[in-house]
Amino acid sequence: MDKKGPVKGRDMTMLTVWNDAAIGIKGDQVVWIGSTKESSILEASKTIDANGRLVTPGLVDPHTHLVFGGSREEEMALKQQGVPYLDILKQGGGILSTVRATREATYQELLEKALFHLDRMAMHGITTVEAKSGYGLDAVTELKQLRVVKEATTVHPLDIVSTFLGAHAIPPDYRDDPEAFLTDMSELFDVIKQENLAEFIDIFTETGVFSIVQSRRYLLKAKEKGFGLKIHADEIDPLGGTELAVELGAISGDHLAVTSDEGIQKLANSQTIGVILPGTSFYLGKDDYARARDMIDAGAAIALATDFNPGSSVTENLQLIMAIAALKLNLSPEEIWHAVTVNAAHAIGRGEQAGRIAIGRKADIVIWDAPNYKYIPYHFGVNHTNTVIKNGKVLYERPAIR
């Protein structure tokens, strides 16, 4: 990843590969990069032989709903009967079922569960991750979720970037007054700022959830308070959330499964990154995969994420998303690698810290059981990590079975 990024359009196809490379790490930082031969000048206290394997920057997952109570396997049968995602939500299930479980869960239970999922992400090669709230929909539970994320950042080695998604659904007691609900959620902005509980404010702009007008008003308030903006945009119905993300200068517009031609053009001409979540289309059985191919061809910067959540994309495995991006979005391996490293880091404000192996940066590095970078999107559904290094320390090594 030798381009600083965000890497846009055709530049996403230009990937630099070093053969026979060596990396010097001191403390938590990369201090030297050169050939294996030149590396003999280094006085290393420990050497890891990658032995013909692919070595890349640690993966960055820029969109997850990390903290939640319970799970929603009971809804799988409804999905199989063809009940649409938004209908399940309308009937009080879906997001609202996770809201009930999250309100019931204790702080400690939520923390333990989040740490478990973070461990699994780390095993799969993710070294930086974004985490959203949004399963409280009341002040107490939303703050509980955000505080869990904050504590997780102190006890877990992964870097976690926090987003407040209080505007994720309309809770039943506000069904007739979504405006009042958004006002209540925006009243949390000050305490979130004071306690440094989130960097970004996100909203689910969707039919039956929040309209474009409501989303604009809410996000403008967030912008005034100094937050970065994100939008769950054009996931199911094309309301114009992509255009709104560009209009407001959001750092990312996420999903973009049904974005209009105009939205694609606007995205391409903007600094906003399209965070594409093809695991959701796959999991909800949709034919509408985001037109990421058209977006890149138009010149946009694209990132990929798991959207890890208990309802519409139940996986911590970003490698699986890379395969879906190859098979369903028609992206090349070069584009996919940019989308899960440098561009993903930019989509969460970590472009200067994560997503590249570079001198002076933290040593977040994955050694893969793969001969080259094309292999990961190709061999799908399993974990290819051999060794995961975070801040210069080995976090995970594939256990030996024999």
Q: For binding to ligand IZC (CB under 6 A), which residues are involved?
A: 65, 94-95, 98, 204, 232, 235, 309-312
Compute the distance between CA of residue 371 and CA of residue 382 in angstroms, rounded to an integer: 16
- Which listed option, ligand IZC, Zn ion, none, makes contact with residue 343 (CB within 5 to 8 Å by class)? none
Residue whose C-beta lies closest to ligand IZC: 311
**Closest listed residue to residue 145, CA positions, set 129, 158, 132:** 132
Q: Which is nearer to Zn ion, 141 or 309 (CB)?
A: 309
- Which listed option, ligand IZC, Zn ion, none, makes contact with residue 125 (CB within 5 to 8 Å by class)? none
- Which listed option, ligand IZC, Zn ion, none, makes contact with residue 364 (CB within 5 to 8 Å by class)? none
Give the nearest distance from C-beta 125 to ligand IZC in angstroms. 23
Structure letter (DSSP) for residue 99:
H
Contact 300, 267 (CB under 8 A): yes
Compute the distance between CA of residue 398 and CA of residue 365 in angstroms, rounded to an integer: 15
Q: Which is nearer to ligand IZC, 24 or 208 (CB)?
A: 208
Half-sphere exposure (Cβ direction) of 306: Cα atoms closer than 13 Å: 29
What's the alpha-carbon Rg for the chain, to the nearest Å? 21
What residues form DSSP beta bridges with 60? 128
- Which listed option, ligand IZC, Zn ion, none, makes contact with residue 238 (CB within 5 to 8 Å by class)? none
**Closest listed residue to residue 237, CA positions, set 259, 215, 263, 254:** 259
Q: Which is nearer to ligand IZC, 9 or 208 (CB)?
A: 208
Give the nearest distance from C-beta 96 to ligand IZC in angstroms. 9
Q: Which is nearer to ligand IZC, 72 or 147 (CB)?
A: 72
- Which listed option, ligand IZC, Zn ion, none, makes contact with residue 341 (CB within 5 to 8 Å by class)? none
Q: Which is nearer to ligand IZC, 6 or 134 (CB)?
A: 134
Residue whose C-beta lies closest to Zn ion: 307
Give the nearest distance from C-beta 268 to Zn ion in angstroms. 23
Contact 306, 270 (CB under 8 A): no
* Cα separation values, 247 from 230, 266, 297, Å: 12, 9, 21
Dihedral sign from CA coordinates of 151, 121, 222, 88: negative
Q: Which is nearer to ligand IZC, 33 or 314 (CB)?
A: 314
116 backbone dihedrals φ, ψ, rounded to 5°: -60, -45
* Beta strand residue intervals within 7-53, DSSP E: 21-26, 29-35
Contact 310, 72 (CB under 8 A): yes
Give the nearest distance from C-beta 250 to Zn ion in angstroms. 14
- Which listed option, Zn ion, ligand IZC, none, makes contact with residue 272 (CB within 5 to 8 Å by class)? none
Place of tokens 């996100």: 202
Give the nearest distance from C-beta 1 to ligand IZC in angstroms. 29
Q: Which is nearer to ligand IZC, 309 or 317 (CB)?
A: 309
Q: Which is nearer to ligand IZC, 277 or 320 (CB)?
A: 277
- Which listed option, Zn ion, ligand IZC, none, makes contact with residue 94 (CB within 5 to 8 Å by class)? ligand IZC
Binding site for Zn ion (CB under 5 A): 307
**Closest listed residue to residue 84, CA positions, set 286, 288, 307, 290:** 286
Contact 57, 365 (CB under 8 A): yes
125 backbone φψ class: left, alpha, beta (φ>0; ψ -120 to 50): left
Q: Which is nearer to Zn ion, 255 or 384 (CB)?
A: 255
- Which listed option, Zn ion, ligand IZC, none, makes contact with residue 204 (CB within 5 to 8 Å by class)? ligand IZC
Give the nearest distance from C-beta 346 to ligand IZC in angstroms. 22
Give the nearest distance from C-beta 214 to ligand IZC in angstroms. 16
Compute the distance between CA of residue 57 and CA of residue 296 in angstroms, rounded to an integer: 22
Give the nearest distance from C-beta 28 to ligand IZC in angstroms. 34
Give the nearest distance from C-beta 312 to Zn ion in angstroms. 8
